Amino acid sequence: QFTSNEKAAEISKFFATRTKPGFERTLKQSLENVRISARWAEGIRSEPGLAQTVRELLAKP
């Protein structure tokens, strides 16, 4: 899953020497999406009641 700041750093490091012209903008946008997802996931983790509610909603048919 790409929902952690650590994963964003790993992706950034991987592509640091592998980018081509024109790819940098797409990479930056993708990394920003990973960071946004990380903040959202952390918010869910920091609210135990919210996490349980989400699990219950996902379990509903």
Residue ranges of domains in the chain:
5-59
By the 8 A CB rule, do 16 and 23 touch? no
Range 25-47 average pLDDT: 88
By the 8 A CB rule, do 29 and 15 touch? no
Please report, as a single letter, which amino acid is at residue 57. L
Asked whether the predicted pLDDT for residue 3 surpasses 90, the reply is no
- Residue 45 CB contacts under 8 Å (≥ 6 apart), including other chains: 51
Tens of pLDDT, residue by residue over 5-14, are 899 999 999 9
CA 16 to chain centre: 18
pTM over 0.75: no
